[in-house]
């Protein structure tokens, strides 16, 4: 088999699995659904490894597999660009996806939508692969929208829950905002470059470095800056950067496996991947990079704070995802694209591990997600405990663990960066280290150590559940816009929570092997991948190979004269082991350590202190609990504004203008129809007469006039 058909096999195998499980989801038994989809993803994974070896041997590819249509001079094609960046993403996507597929067998065991779920996650894998393997903007946009669609379907997977419907609607709408910028950016590329092909665009990009365009008024804007910022707005939506981050925490309404796969490991990193892929464009605009680094650092720091006060186990992990995505964005802004991709990769493994670990805890706790009801689980769930510990250590950047290498590289790269905003970014990523360590281990201690709070204190639990219900209620309140149904929702939620959770005296139990096996398999890369990867990926030649089809443009292009951060950073690197040794004498390590120590002291030793702080700084707690009022603002301003606009348009536009026009045109149609009927008498002589009239008119116009 030649390589081209292998490339094609990678996205197609999961697609076939998705079709089998999806189209026949009502007919086939469960084992067929999961066998077909797992086989599809496994084939994709193995093929990706083969392709990886081939790429390592120097065989890259860039070409169309199908020409969809031509419109004038524009060509729209389906094609693949296979190079080191693509193949890295392929490996991450297929391997995490494979783990999540296996895990799902255990997690969704009792769910009636079992086959549908497998179909969706395989469809997601297909879409994501199309996105990363694309060699042009159109296919990128296809993949971009397709993953968005699957994400929407999966957040609302339990479509009978009002909160899930609200969350998927929110994710959908917020992503539309980002996509609007994204498609405008693509439109600018097509308008000015005349092509959507990456290679052509990258090749031509330097010619456009000093081109300016007129957007409104007489102000001149640099074309590359506008294009890159618009493309990045797309990335902000997909990769949940402030202020378009609001959908990601709510997306935790979906089943846990997809929180791991889509909302942590892969889909949300699409924006990061896209910016790295577009490095030849972004390098031409320091302004755009500055915008990127500022947005990234705000996300990295401020989303971390929110993680501190969350009590839902999945939401804690969700906020850490937001914060880590901020780190990756900061790296992009500092022109350290390879570091961003490296962090993307390590993060994919340890964050998937943390999410799946959280899912395992949720199974053990019979679908109670409140960490205040847990504690001491170490004894009952040993495998989940040890793997979660590994994941947490990787996340906070413990030397030698995967997260350490990628996160420290980001911090170092930012230190050497000189673009506007890098000073703030350096502060944000440093402070973020402490915050990350604090909330990660807060969760870890509350879940796995200390007093066993489950089962016995059911009154407390009821209270907590009520808290959660009240919380979701506020969402409904805004959503529904009028309060008469809220009582019902509230009752449903409370009874729902009572139904789940451990009964008094019941103990949590370790999850089945299909759940723990992926945990173990993900724990391995969470430990070692950083040590192996840091040399070649960040400093080596891995990303320096030429993009096939271009005139020597490397996969990750850095304008070292303008953005010297990476070059300078590279001179300080003396191997992975030395980097880890050196870490013990640097600030991030001690910040992380103090974060862990403080959380131990607060939540294991003196639980009264956090409570006291909460009472003392009530206003701060309120701000954090309301997530800086982003949701409130969106609800009031955008949703409220849209409702007002809609009402105005309805009253003014619909009723007055459109109804007027429609009724008017309906009358016109009626008139025309009756006129036509008048001629269409059914009498043959009137038909002949009409024909003759037509002929006479034509003759008058042409013969008599001439």
Q: Which stretch binds another protein (CB under 8 A): 3-11, 475-483, 643-651, 692-700?
A: 692-700
CB of 705 to another protein, least distance (A): 10
Is residue 676 near another protein by the rule CB under 8 A?
yes
Helix axes 402-416, 422-448, angle to 10 degrees: 160
- CB-neighbour burial class of residue 693 (10 A; exposed 0-12, middle 13-18, buried 19+): exposed
Binding mask 62-81 for another protein (x = CB under 8 A): -----xxxxxx---------
Q: Which stretch binds another protein (CB under 8 A): 306-314, 560-568, 581-589, 695-703?
A: 695-703
Q: What does the block give as tokens for 496?
A: 């729902």
CB of 167 to another protein, least distance (A): 28
Is residue 5 near another protein by the rule CB under 8 A?
no
C-alpha–C-alpha distance, residues 178 and 232, integer Å: 8
Is residue 703 near another protein by the rule CB under 8 A?
yes
From the list 165, 91, 194, 143, the residue with the least C-alpha distance to 489 is 165
Of 642 and 691, the one with the shorter C-beta distance to another protein is 691
C-alpha–C-alpha distance, residues 687 and 93, integer Å: 68
Of 642 and 699, the one with the shorter C-beta distance to another protein is 699
Is residue 699 near another protein by the rule CB under 8 A?
yes
Is residue 653 near another protein by the rule CB under 8 A?
no
Of 214 and 674, the one with the shorter C-beta distance to another protein is 674
Window 291-330: residues binding another protein (CB under 8 A): none
Is residue 695 near another protein by the rule CB under 8 A?
yes
Of 56 and 701, the one with the shorter C-beta distance to another protein is 701
DSSP reduced 3-state for 632: helix
Is residue 706 near another protein by the rule CB under 8 A?
yes
Is residue 691 near another protein by the rule CB under 8 A?
yes
Is residue 505 near another protein by the rule CB under 8 A?
no
At residue 154's C-alpha, the angle toward residues 292 and 643, to 5°, is 70
Of 644 and 658, the one with the shorter C-beta distance to another protein is 658
Is residue 1 near another protein by the rule CB under 8 A?
no
Of 68 and 584, the one with the shorter C-beta distance to another protein is 68
Q: What does the block give as tokens for 464?
A: 């907590």
- CB-neighbour burial class of residue 584 (10 A; exposed 0-12, middle 13-18, buried 19+): exposed
- CB-neighbour burial class of residue 695 (10 A; exposed 0-12, middle 13-18, buried 19+): exposed
Is residue 672 near another protein by the rule CB under 8 A?
yes
Of 116 and 563, the one with the shorter C-beta distance to another protein is 116
Helices (H), 534-658: 565-571, 576-583, 587-600, 608-616, 618-625, 630-633, 640-648
CB of 695 to another protein, least distance (A): 5
DSSP reduced 3-state for 559: coil
Of 581 and 673, the one with the shorter C-beta distance to another protein is 673
> Quick check: bond before 16 cis, omega within 30?
no
- CB-neighbour burial class of residue 264 (10 A; exposed 0-12, middle 13-18, buried 19+): buried
Is residue 27 near another protein by the rule CB under 8 A?
no
Residues written for the chain? 706
In three-state form (DSSP H/G/I as H, E/B as E, the rest C), the secondary structure along 420-479 is CCHHHHHHHHHHHHHHHHHHHHHHHHHHHCCCCCCCCCHHHHHHHHHHHHHHHHHHHHHH
**C-alpha 699 chain-centroid distance:** 67
Is residue 670 near another protein by the rule CB under 8 A?
yes
Of 587 and 701, the one with the shorter C-beta distance to another protein is 701
> How many residues form the binding site for another protein (CB under 8 A)?
32
> Is the Cβ–Cβ distance between 181 and 234 less than 8 Å?
yes
Q: Which stretch binds another protein (CB under 8 A): 82-90, 242-250, 271-279, 666-674?
A: 666-674
CB of 675 to another protein, least distance (A): 9
> Is the Cβ–Cβ distance between 56 and 68 less than 8 Å?
no
Is residue 678 near another protein by the rule CB under 8 A?
no
In three-state form (DSSP H/G/I as H, E/B as E, the rest C), the secondary structure along 263-295 is HHHCHHHHHHHHHHHCHHHHCCCHHHHHHHHHH
DSSP reduced 3-state for 370: strand
CB of 678 to another protein, least distance (A): 11
CB of 691 to another protein, least distance (A): 5
Is residue 669 near another protein by the rule CB under 8 A?
yes
Is residue 690 near another protein by the rule CB under 8 A?
yes
- CB-neighbour burial class of residue 381 (10 A; exposed 0-12, middle 13-18, buried 19+): buried
Is residue 663 near another protein by the rule CB under 8 A?
no
Is residue 694 near another protein by the rule CB under 8 A?
yes
CB of 698 to another protein, least distance (A): 5
CB of 147 to another protein, least distance (A): 19
Cα-Cα end-to-end distance for the chain: 70
Find where tokens 């969704």 sit: 108
Q: Which H or E run includes 44?
A: helix 30-56
C-alpha–C-alpha distance, residues 373 and 365, integer Å: 9
CB of 529 to another protein, least distance (A): 40
Q: Which stretch binds another protein (CB under 8 A): 92-100, 288-296, 559-567, 682-690?
A: 682-690
CB of 652 to another protein, least distance (A): 23
CA distances from 160 to 165, 196, 482, 493 (A): 8, 41, 20, 12
Of 145 and 478, the one with the shorter C-beta distance to another protein is 145
Window 277-296: residues binding another protein (CB under 8 A): none
C-alpha–C-alpha distance, residues 132 and 273, integer Å: 8
Is residue 581 near another protein by the rule CB under 8 A?
no
Q: Which stretch binds another protein (CB under 8 A): 265-273, 370-378, 486-494, 676-684?
A: 676-684
Is residue 57 near another protein by the rule CB under 8 A?
no
Q: Which H or E run includes 520?
A: helix 513-533
Number of H-type helices and E-type strands within the chain: 30, 4
Q: Which stretch binds another protein (CB under 8 A): 114-122, 223-231, 605-613, 686-694?
A: 686-694
Q: Which stretch binds another protein (CB under 8 A): 42-50, 222-230, 285-293, 674-682?
A: 674-682
Of 504 and 694, the one with the shorter C-beta distance to another protein is 694
Of 31 and 685, the one with the shorter C-beta distance to another protein is 685
Residue 243 is classified by DSSP as T
Is residue 680 near another protein by the rule CB under 8 A?
yes
Q: Which stretch binds another protein (CB under 8 A): 41-49, 61-69, 396-404, 512-520?
A: 61-69
C-alpha–C-alpha distance, residues 550 and 547, integer Å: 6
Of 655 and 691, the one with the shorter C-beta distance to another protein is 691
* Residues making contact with another protein (CB under 8 A): 67-72, 668-670, 672-674, 676-677, 679-680, 682, 684, 686-688, 690-691, 693-695, 698-699, 701-703, 706
């Amino acid at each position: 088999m030649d390589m081209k058909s292998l490339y094609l096999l990678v996205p197609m195998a999961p697609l076939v699995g998705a079709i089998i499980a999806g189209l026949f989801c009502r007919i086939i038994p469960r084992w067929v659904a999961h066998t077909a989809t797992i086989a599809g993803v496994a084939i994709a994974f193995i093929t990706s490894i083969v392709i990886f070896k081939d790429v390592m041997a120097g065989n890259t590819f860039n070409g169309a597999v199908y020409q969809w249509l031509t419109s004038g001079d524009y060509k729209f094609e389906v094609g693949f660009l296979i190079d080191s960046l693509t193949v890295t993403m392929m490996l991450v996507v297929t391997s995490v996806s494979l783990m999540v597929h296996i895990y799902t067998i255990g997690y969704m065991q009792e769910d009636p939508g079992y086959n549908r779920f497998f179909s969706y996650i395989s469809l997601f894998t297909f879409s994501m692969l199309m996105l990363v393997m694309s060699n042009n903007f159109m296919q990128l946009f296809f993949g971009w929208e397709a993953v968005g669609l699957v994400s929407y379907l999966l957040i609302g997977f339990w479509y009978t829950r009002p909160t899930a419907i609200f969350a998927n609607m929110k994710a959908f709408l917020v992503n539309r905002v980002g996509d609007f910028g994204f498609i405008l950016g693509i439109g600018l590329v097509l308008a000015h470059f005349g092509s959507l092909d990456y290679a052509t665009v990258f090749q031509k990009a330097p010619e456009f470095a000093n081109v300016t365009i007129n957007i409104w008024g007489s102000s001149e804007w640099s074309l590359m800056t506008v294009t890159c910022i618009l493309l990045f707005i797309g990335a902000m939506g997909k990769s949940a950067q402030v202020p378009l981050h609001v959908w990601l925490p709510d997306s935790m309404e979906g089943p846990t496996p997809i929180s791991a796969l889509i909302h942590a490991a892969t889909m949300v990193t699409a924006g990061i991947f896209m910016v790295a892929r577009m490095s030849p464009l972004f390098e031409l605009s320091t302004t755009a990079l500055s915008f990127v680094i500022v947005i990234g650092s705000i996300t990295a720091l401020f989303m971390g704070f929110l993680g501190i006060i969350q009590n839902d186990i999945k939401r804690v992990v969700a906020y850490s995802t937001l914060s880590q995505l901020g780190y990756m964005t900061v790296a992009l802004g500092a022109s350290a694209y390879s570091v961003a991709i490296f962090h993307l990769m390590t993060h994919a493994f340890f964050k998937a591990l943390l999410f799946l670990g959280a899912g395992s805890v949720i199974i053990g706790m019979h679908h109670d997600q409140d960490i205040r009801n847990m504690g001491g689980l170490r004894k009952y769930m040993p495998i989940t405990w040890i793997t979660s510990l590994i994941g947490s250590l990787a996340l906070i950047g413990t030397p030698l663990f995967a997260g350490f290498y990628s996160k420290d590289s980001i911090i170092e790269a930012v230190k050497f960066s000189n673009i506007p905003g890098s000073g703030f970014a350096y502060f944000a990523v440093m402070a973020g280290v402490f915050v990350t360590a604090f909330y990660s281990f807060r969760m870890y201690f509350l879940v796995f150590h200390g007093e066993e709070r489950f089962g016995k204190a059911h009154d407390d639990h009821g209270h907590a559940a009520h808290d959660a219900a009240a919380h979701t209620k506020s969402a409904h309140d805004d959503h529904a816009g009028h309060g008469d149904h809220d009582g019902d929702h509230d009752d449903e939620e409370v009874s729902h929570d009572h139904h789940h959770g451990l009964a008094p005296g019941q103990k949590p139990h370790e999850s089945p092997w299909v759940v723990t096996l992926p945990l173990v398999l993900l724990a391995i890369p969470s430990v070692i991948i950083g040590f192996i990867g840091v040399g070649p990926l960040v400093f080596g030649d891995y990303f320096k190979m030429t993009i096939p089809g271009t005139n020597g443009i490397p996969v990750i292009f850095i304008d070292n004269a303008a953005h010297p951060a990476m070059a300078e950073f590279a001179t300080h690197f003396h191997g992975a082991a030395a980097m880890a040794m050196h870490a013990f004498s640097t600030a991030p390590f001690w910040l992380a350590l103090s974060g862990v120590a403080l959380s131990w002291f607060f939540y294991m030793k003196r639980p009264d202190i956090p409570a006291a702080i909460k009472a003392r700084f009530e206003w701060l707690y309120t701000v954090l609990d309301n997530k800086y009022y982003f949701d409130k603002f969106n609800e009031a301003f955008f949703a409220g504004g849209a409702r007002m606009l809609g009402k105005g348009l309805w009253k003014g536009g619909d009723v007055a203008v459109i109804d007027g026009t429609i009724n008017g045109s309906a009358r016109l149609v009626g008139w025309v129809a009756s006129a036509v009927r008048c001629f269409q008498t059914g009498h043959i002589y009137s038909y002949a007469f009409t024909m003759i009239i037509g002929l006479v008119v034509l003759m008058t116009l042409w013969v008599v006039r001439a």
